[in-house]
Each structure stands twice: as structure tokens, then as C-alpha cells.
Amino acid sequence: MKSKNHVNKSIIQLLFSCFAIALLSGQALAETGHGEEAEHGEEGHIELTQEQIQHSGITLVTATSGTIRDVLPVYGVVATNAERVQSVTARFDGVIREVKKSVGDPVRKGETLVTVEANESLKTYSIVSALNGVITQRNANPGEQTTDTPLLVVQDFSTVWVELSIFPKDVAQVELGQQVRVLSLDSTQITEGKIIYIAPLGQAGNQAITARALIDNPNGIWKPGLFVNAQITRAEIAAPVVIRNEALQIVEDNPVVFVRGEEGFEPRTVTLGRTDGELSEVVVGLSADEVYVSKNSFILKSEMGKEDAEHGH
């Protein structure tokens, strides 16, 4: 009964081949699901060849000591220096005989501004300026009788105040004598001053406290009433280890710097101290003279996490 055997055989054979096809299809499908698994050296270490470093545009920098300017940015308004204003009034009431200056005229200290003929003595006397400044108000004309209102106001703009609004969260950090950098809105004009006054009273409306900085205004560019940007320098700290801010990456909620070690780059969690726009102080985690990745540090972060990168739907 060889033929029967053959029949059985052929059935088995055919079955086998069809199942093989089915299995193949499954396996081939499974094959497509595998992503590429990147290989790394030790855990956490990222090994890069010199060529790779070059291609990816990574720059290496040595950690050094440095100075960090810790600043507090605030908005401010330029105001007249209230201590440099003279309201010109007549010592003895009388008839104004002559007014020598008009609004906008510059005056020098000791210059005659107004002559008045006193009512009582009928003598004419001069009133002189006590300041170097500019006439900003004129309420007097020849022939008029003097009243209680000031005849002229002279203001000295060679120094001005900048009234800074300090909001509750920052109040504690502002002290008398701190250096202030004042910038015009378009940042073309910059000058420095010091905080001379912190108001003891708050403003109900915006919960702010006014701090006052005195700045020099030799060319009169800081016009009272204008808004300005200001930065209060809280401290200039010489830190033993500073790094460039672009070197910092956040990995699992912690700031991390990629440090060059013997076996490639090591992501190192650091504790940061003060920081400004460019530099940050490293308190723990990095010592001076260690070499870290500054520019394109993100590429290392991406290299670290790329195994998990996927394109899901």
C-alpha cells in the first residue's frame, strides 16, 4: 500500500508547506516591528568618537571660576529729582517789574530771574536762582501783582530719580545702596545709579513698593515721565565654578551637565547656585578644570534617550 503512504505523505507535505507559509508571514510581520537598538558602553556613559564630536558640532569647554551678576529686572518711571527744584516766590509782595527768563530757558545758580518792586518799601529787589537748571513754569509777567503762587519753577535735571516698582516677591531682595542699571525702552541708552530710598508705604492698587534710584542725567536724555527698564544688581558673586547656561539640560527633573570622562561623556546631575543670563554657578557636582559640553549639549541628551524614541500612532 505504498500509494496510500504516498497520499498521506503528500497531504502532510502540503499541509506543512501551507503552515510554513502561515508561520513565515507571522515571523516576517514580527520582524518589521523591531526598531534599531542603539548600543552604549557602560550604563549612563555616552561614547563618542572624535569624528562624531566633529560632525555633531559639539563644543567642549573647561569649567572655570567666574563672576555672576545676579540681577532683578523691574520696570520704572523717570521722575524729577524732588530735591533739585526751586519754586521762585517773592519774599516781599509787590509788582513784578521784570521777568528775565521764559519757560525752557537754562539758568545758572545766582542768575537774576525776576525783579519785584516791594509794596511796602517800594524798593526793587531781584530774585536769583539757587540752582543750575531750566525754567519749567512761569506764572509771572511784568506789571502783575505777586501772589502766593510761585512766580517761576526752576528744575535741575542733571540728576533724576527712577521710581522702580518692586513687587512683593522681590521686596526682600532690594536694599539701599544697590546698583541699578537703567535702560531706555529701546535699550539704546544705558546708565547706572544707586538705590537711595525704599518707600515705607506700599501702593494699594498694585501691591507694589516704590524704590528710588538716583541717576545722573548730564545730557538730559532721561526725561521725567518716561517709562524705562531697570535691573537691580543684587550681587556680583565670584563663584569658584561657573558653567555656560547652554550646557544645562534637564534630565528627569534634574539639571544635568555632560562631563567628559575617560570613557566618553557622563551625564552629571549638578546643584546650581546663582545664575544670570549667561552663566550659572555650580555648587555641587562639577569641579573647576573639568571639561564639559557647552554648545549642542542637547545632542547628547537625545543620544541618551534615543532608544526610546519612536513614532507611534
Partner 1 sequence: MIDKLIQFSIARRWLVMFLVLVIGALGVWNYQHLPIDAVPDITNVQVQINTEAPGYSPLEVEQRITYLVELAITGLPYVESTRSLSRYALSQVTVVFEKGTDIYFARNLINERLQQAKSEMPSGIEPVMGPVATGLGEIFHYAVHAKPGALQENGEPYDATALRTLQDWVIRPQLRLVPGVTEVNTIGGFEKQFHITPEPARLLAYQLSFDNLVAALEKNNANIGAGYIEKNGEQYLIRAPGQVADIPAIEKIIVARRDGLPITVADVAEVGFGKELRTGAATLDGEETVLGTAVMLLGGNSRTVSQAVSAKLVEVNKTLPEGVIAEPVYDRTVLVDKTIATVQANLAEGAILVVVVLLVMLGNVRAALLTAMVIPLSMLMLMTGMVQTKVSANLMSLGALDFGLIVDGAVIIVENCILRLAGRQHHLGRTLKLDERFQTVFAATREVFTPSLISVLVVILVNLPILALTGVEGKMFTPMAMAVIMALLSALVLSLTFVPAAVALFMTGHIEEKDNFIVRHSKRFYAPVLAWALKFRVLVLSAALIFVVLVGALATRMGTEFIPNLDEGDIAIQALRIPGTSLTQSLDMQFQLEKAVLEIPEVKTYFSRVGTAEVASDPMGPNISDGYVMLKDHSEWPDPDKTKAQLLEEIGEKLSLLPGNAFEISQPIQLRFNELISGVRSDLGIKVFGDDLTQLLKSGGEIAAVLNGIEGAEGVKVEQVSGLPILSINADRSALYRYGLNVADVQDVVAAATGGEEAGLIFEGDQRFSIVVRVAERVRGDLRALERLPIPLPDGGYVPLREVASLTLAPGPNQISRENGKRRLVVSANVRGRDLGGFVAEVQGKVAQQVKLPPGYWLEYGGTFEQLQSATQRLSLLVPVTLVMIFALLMMTFGSAKDAALVFSGVPLALTGGVIALWLRDIPLSITAGVGFITLCGVSVLTGVMMVSAFRDELNRGESVEQAILGGAMLRLRPILMVALVAALGFLPMALNTSTGAEVQRPLATVVIGGIISSTLLTLLVLPGLYRLAWRRPKAIDNNGEPIAE
Contacts of 48 (CB under 8 A, 6+ apart): 56, 58, 264, 265, 303
Distance CA 80, CA 189 (A): 18
Question: CB neighbours (10 Å) of residue 245?
Answer: 14
**Residue 43 binds partner 1, judged by CB under 8 A:** no
Residue from 31, 43, 148, 289 binding partner 1 (CB under 8 A): 31
Distance CA 217, CA 157 (A): 6
Binding positions for partner 1, 220-279, rule CB under 8 A: 226-229, 250, 253, 277
- Which range, of 91-99, 113-121, 173-181, 302-310, touches partner 1 by CB under 8 A? 302-310
**Residue 306 binds partner 1, judged by CB under 8 A:** yes
CB of 188 to partner 1, least distance (A): 13
Binding positions for partner 1, 281-300, rule CB under 8 A: 298-300
For 113, the 3-state DSSP assignment is strand
User: Binders of partner 1: how many residues, by CB under 8 A?
Assistant: 77
Amino acid identity, position 166: I
Nearer to partner 1, 35 or 218 (CB): 35
Binding mask 65-94 for partner 1 (x = CB under 8 A): --------xxx-------------------
Q: Which DSSP letter does residue 253 get?
A: T
The H or E element that residue 55 is part of is helix 50-56
Find cell 556613559 and name the residue: 45
Could you give the C-alpha distances from 288 to 9, 51, 65, 250, in angstroms and in order? 79, 26, 7, 21
Distance CA 21, CA 13 (A): 12
Distance CA 207, CA 226 (A): 21
**Residue 197 binds partner 1, judged by CB under 8 A:** no
Residue from 143, 177, 200, 205 binding partner 1 (CB under 8 A): 205
Nearer to partner 1, 19 or 197 (CB): 19
Binding positions for partner 1, 118-157, rule CB under 8 A: none
CB of 229 to partner 1, least distance (A): 6
**Residue 59 binds partner 1, judged by CB under 8 A:** no
Nearer to partner 1, 253 or 289 (CB): 253
Phi, psi of 27 (to 5 degrees): -65, -40
Nearer to partner 1, 61 or 72 (CB): 72
Binding positions for partner 1, 3-22, rule CB under 8 A: 3-4, 6-7, 9-11, 13-22
The H or E element that residue 23 is part of is helix 2-32
